[in-house]
Copies of this chain bind each other. A is one copy, B any other.
Amino acid sequence: MSSFREDGAAAVEWVASYLERVSDLPVLSQAEPGDIRATLPRSPPDEPEPFSSVLRDLDTVLLPGLTHWQSPRFFAYFAATGSEPGVLAELLIAGLNQVGILWRTSPALQELEEVTLDWLAQLLGLPSEFHGHIEDTASTGVLSALAVARAVRPGHRVVLCSEHAHSAADKAAKLLELELRKVPVDDEFRLRPELLELDDACAVIATIGTTGAAAIDPIPEIADACEAAGVWLHVDAAYAGSAAVCPELRPLFTDWERADSIGVNPHKWLGVPMDCSALWSRRPDDFRRTFSLVPEFLQSPDDAVNLSELSIPLGRRFRALKLWAVLRCFGRTGLQERIREHMRLASLFEGWVRDEPGWEIVAPRHFSLVCFRREGADEENERLLEKVNASGEAFISHARLGDRYALRLAIGNFRTSEDDLRLAWDVLNREAAVL
């Protein structure tokens, strides 16, 4: 173990120093397709190399090919954070190398996963009848939920969601051979519940915090319609769900507890490193009926429920350990503090945009995402986006909202400060002036 201790110290130092210098690195990788591949050997080594070579090549070979999600000026898509306790928990997870298949293959994994998901449900104000487990991503979570919905309502092959729902819905529907119908949105990019036609439907996906504009579908009306028709309601709150940790933001989540299943990604806005996507359902027995297969080789003398009976993969990592580490090392107040700071920053940025001539806000802001644009042509905004991202000083992304191209600035990194935000705004103005 002496080399493990030595290599481990070097790896910890590498990460510490990376996190110290990450804000100096270009946020979006400046590599061209094939650049990284070209610097790697075409074949694996025959003889063992020391771990120090891996660390060296991480700097010299891979670093130019990294887009720095840990940068405080990563504002694209939905920004994320691998927080320090979460990062170190991944070391423990790998060191223990637990494989959750049956309860007995890791009782601690299974029970900690159930307990931390209960904790998280409490933090978000969800009632105790929700049973939670962890999926890799919300894409898999939506796929699982729709598979259950299809099984619960045989003969009903339609799924409804707004035109702004995440593409995971399209992918899941395709895999499950369900017909996905996109319901038009209102002028605030919310699903129009009066257009829901549920006769042939097995499920509705409603979103709190859509990908494009972080819009909030009208959950109370959708839940009424689903309940009346006996249709499964999945609430996708992959990004925004974490905000429910702040009681003052709970009104944005009105009635989400009426859903049959809810997805929230702690790896998005809660400091847990990729991957950790929470999926709760008030109908875990329906999940079990859909996914349970306990073949002979896995029969065991205890009669515990196994988490593998609720989802697609048979084996699962000990992801609960990193969620546990993050929930403990931040605590309720620490997480609230970070969400509130992001809300403050987003509000600040929104104000800057509103106050500056030549810019406009293009969607109501509910969370930490600001959708805005230069007044003028879409093409100008597209060029502006590319200029800003090519500078490496900040990384933002875009969406099409209605018939307009919009710029998206998403705040979600725990290390983002007001200075970082100001710098991004300065870069936007500088590049806009050049154009």
Contacts and interface: CB of A to CB of B under 8 A. Distances in A.
Contact of A273 (B94, B296, B324): B94
A249 interface: no
Contacts of A118: 42
A136 B136 contact: yes
A293 B170 contact: yes
Interface stretch (A99-107, A226-234, A280-288, A349-357): A99-107
Contact of A333 (B47, B58, B302): B47
Contacts of A344: none
Interface in A25-62: 28-29, 31-37, 40, 42-51, 53-54, 58, 62
B90 A93 contact: yes
A409 B118 CA distance: 37
Contacts of A361: none
Interface string A52-91: 0110001000111111011000001100111011111111
Q: Which of A49, A94, A175, A332 has the most chain B CB within a 10 Å cutoff?
A: A94
A160 B327 CA distance: 46
Contacts of A36: 107-108, 111-112
A325 interface: yes
A413 to B, nearest CB: 10
A123 interface: yes
A34 B111 contact: yes
Contacts of A122: 43-44
A46 B397 contact: no
Given A77-B101, A399-B297, A13 B5 contact: yes
A430 interface: no
Contacts of A31: 107-108
Contact of A95 (B19, B34, B76): B19
A143 interface: yes
Given A1-B20, A5-B13, A114-B37, A44 B106 contact: no
Contacts of A62: 108, 112, 321
Nearest to A303: B33
A386 interface: yes
Interface stretch (A201-209, A312-320, A419-427): A312-320
Contacts of A296: 212, 399-400
Contacts of A32: 302
A1 B29 contact: no
A172 B327 CA distance: 34
Interface string A325-353: 10111111110000000000000000000
Interface of A: 1, 3-5, 7-9, 11-20, 28-29, 31-37, 40, 42-51, 53-54, 58, 62-67, 69-70, 76-77, 80-82, 84-99, 101, 103-109, 111-112, 114-115, 118-120, 122-123, 136-137, 139-140, 143, 147, 167-168, 170-171, 174-177, 211-212, 273-275, 290-291, 293-298, 301-304, 312-317, 321-322, 324-325, 327-334, 386, 397-400, 408
Given A7-B88, A212-B297, A297-B397, 20 more contacts: A1-B16, A1-B20, A5-B16, A11-B92, A15-B95, A29-B106, A36-B107, A43-B122, A44-B328, A51-B84, A65-B108, A66-B106, A66-B108, A67-B98, A70-B96, A82-B94, A82-B96, A137-B314, A275-B316, A297-B398
Q: What are the 9 closest A-B residue pairs judged by CB atoms, nearest first?
A: A65-B108, A82-B97, A8-B12, A15-B95, A90-B94, A44-B119, A36-B111, A65-B107, A167-B295
